[in-house]
Chain A
Amino acid sequence: MNEKAITMQDALILGGKTFTSRFILGSGKYSLKLIEAAVRDAGAQMITLAVRRANTKEHENILDYIPEGVTLLPNTSGARTAEEAVRIAKLARELGCGNFVKVEIMRDSKYLLPDNQETIRATKLLANDGFVVMPYMYPDLNVARDLVNAGAAAVMPLASPIGSNKGLATREFIQILIDEIDLPIIVDAGIGRPSQACEAMEMGAAAIMANTALATAGDLPRMAMAFRQAIEAGRNAYLSGLGRVLVRGAAASDPLTGFLRD
């Protein structure tokens, strides 16, 4: 099977929609240039939209920046409780942003770490209301299971604090989610380099969400392209099945089990 065929067959399906791209643009730092680069060079087919930023008058409405054919993923940033998240999601639907929603509930203005308990509650309320719910969460297996039961369409664990570009600080716990949860695991927040995105995809993540890493790059289009290539490389490696990984130092020449006689 050639590379293209793998990509074509290997679609990510969320809320009944099929995505061939596994890069999702986050919403933290928006600009027209960033959205252009994300779509053209990183191949993004889904773009997060902070409803609180879209809810603006004519001067700089982000909705105007979103190209045709790109699925909007409105987020509930600014919400501090499940109820606030539900209100923001409903506002997004009224604004014509569709029925996808990324639940983000933070009660912490310093690190912007998600509140898992409120996130479970919001996921349940929104899933029952017909939303395709993609909750942003701190990677905890029990919470992920609750999110599955609450009707989430995917689970979005953070790799490290948002905006930090620190990479897979929660690697072991994300791996547990990938191994144990049947929904797509989309790694969100903290991915600072293409190599980190690649590593998460090798682990079996379904997609990567990033924003700051691109937004603060020197050459935005080139960095966007690098993310696309890294995500595709990681995905192909995962699908291929990672081969033998040599540990440092040579393998013992005398087998440890040589004493066995049968």
Chain B
Amino acid sequence: MENTFFVDSDALSPAVLEKKHRLETDPSARTDIMRYLDGMEQIDSDLLDRVLEQVNRYDPTQYTDRDVRNALQHETCSIEDLKALLSPAAEPFLEQMAQKARLETQKHFGNTVYLFTPLYIANYCENYCVYCGFNCYNHIHRMKLNMEQIEHEMQVIAESGMEEILLLTGESRGQSGPEYIGEACKLARKYFRMVGLEIYPVNTEEYRYLHECGADYVTVFQETYDAARYEQLHLLGHKRVFPYRFHAQERALRGGMRGVAAAALLGLSDFRKDALATALHVHFLQRKYPHAEMSLSCPRLRPIINNDRINPQDVHETQLCQIICAYRIFLPFAGITVSSRESESFRNGIVKIAATKVSAGVSTGIGDHESKYTGRQSDRPEGDEQFEISDDRSFSRMYRDIEQEGLQPVLNDYLYV
């Protein structure tokens, strides 16, 4: 099923619609994705070249049964082994991959599974990313929580027992600037042991400021590492600048953050190449910043408000499982997060193999935790969601389910020092 990303809204004026259509149809109307915008910090780094050099040479169809068997036998997984494990030739070996992945997970993480919840504090966005529910042309209910509302949301979440929170915003410096996010981090430190951020990429000194406000983990999804495809999907806004986004993790670490996470949104481009790029991004980051904690997410495309036809195309659960097993075998030390985009049954299965972190009690909307957590109709305003989730288990049910799988739920393994 081919994705149809472009959706028009009656709420857009003819002039705006014309600009939107021009961006969608005329590449010359779009900016160069490699050109930095004013104010964007450029750092000296060869990581992007090193990742793309490998990815550009990767032809998944060239790998055979024999390469996969060899990869499974090696004690240390090389980049070539990773390429074999991500190839179609590895699909018949999925069970062996899962067995090997599980051993690696047990060695490094035992039977622990970390729980966290995301908190969206604003959904304003200045980008036009065609697959995203928050994109600036999508007609949704926009909202930005004020500090009193953020604190209320945090209280509701903290009362559930959760100790780790991930703060998210849409990508709008104008509506949700670094100071606004910094104030939210300070509030979060009052209620949670661990505060992570998933916001638009910022400069090193801004990461340093956010770290001083209490955040210690930065997640940035590159979405796709295929620059040509990236250009077709991110038509407008700061996010269009491909290398600035790629180097966000490095800037975050230089700004003092303790750990970073990377991901490709699987389904946007050749998922095998994107999975390779994500794993190598983390691999090279770890080599350059060995003290830092590394993790990966493995999101797949999901339907959004006003477009329920968006889907992850050829990345079915089998392929997703293959990718996660390959990630684990290649990066045994890295955290792997599987979000509520995936089904309850998939998440129950994957935590026994390779995932070390799952979200629970999730809402991707704005200001709706009270109604979602208590079931009570709240008179507080609510903003629309970024995408549809699949696994809507509450924190307490997730905690119990993990225990019933024979695993140990962990709420906090972290000290802000």
Contact = CB atoms under 8 A, between A and B. Distances in A.
Contacts of A50: 413
B290 interface: yes
A87 interface: yes
Contacts of A197: none
Highest count of chain B CB atoms <10 Å: which of A28, A52, A216:
A52
Contacts of B110: 28-31, 212, 215-216
Contact of B111 (A79, A106, A165, A215): A215
A59 B399 CA distance: 10
A107 interface: yes
Contact of A216 (B106, B163, B292, B412): B106
A53 to B, nearest CB: 5
Given A29-B109, A215-B110, A216-B107, A110 B413 contact: no
Contact of A109 (B112, B161, B291): B291
Contacts of A112: 333
Contact of B413 (A53, A87, A163, A212): A53
B107 A164 contact: yes
Contacts of B417: 78-79, 84, 87-88
- For the residues of A in contact with B, the DSSP-based class is loop
Interface in B359-414: 399, 408-414
Contacts of A80: 291
Contacts of B109: 29
B214 to A, nearest CB: 15
Chain A interface residue bracket vs B: 20 to 34
Interface string A144-174: 0000000000000000000111000000000
Interface in B94-112: 106-112
A58 B160 CA distance: 11
Highest count of chain A CB atoms <10 Å: which of B108, B163, B414:
B108
A56 B413 CA distance: 8
Given A31-B408, A59-B161, A163-B108, A108 B415 contact: no
Contacts of A29: 109-112
Nearest to A59: B161
A51 interface: yes
Interface string A204-237: 0000000010011000000000000000000000
Contact of B411 (A57, A79, A84): A57
Given A29-B111, A29-B112, A216-B110, A56 B163 contact: yes
Nearest to B287: A110
Chain B interface residue bracket vs A: 20 to 34
A55 B412 contact: yes
Contacts of B254: none
B270 interface: no
Nearest to A216: B106
Given A57-B161, A216-B110, A52 B291 contact: no
B193 interface: yes
Highest count of chain A CB atoms <10 Å: which of B107, B259, B292:
B107
A126 to B, nearest CB: 15
Contact of B107 (A55, A56, A108, A212): A212
A181 interface: no
Interface string A21-50: 000000011110000000000000000001
B167 interface: no
A206 B342 CA distance: 49
A109 B333 CA distance: 7
A60 interface: yes
A109 B193 contact: no
A91 interface: yes
15 contacts: A29-B110, A29-B112, A55-B415, A56-B163, A78-B414, A80-B291, A106-B291, A108-B290, A109-B286, A109-B292, A110-B333, A163-B108, A212-B107, A212-B110, A215-B111
Interface of B: 106-112, 161, 163, 193, 259, 286, 290-294, 333, 399, 408-415, 417
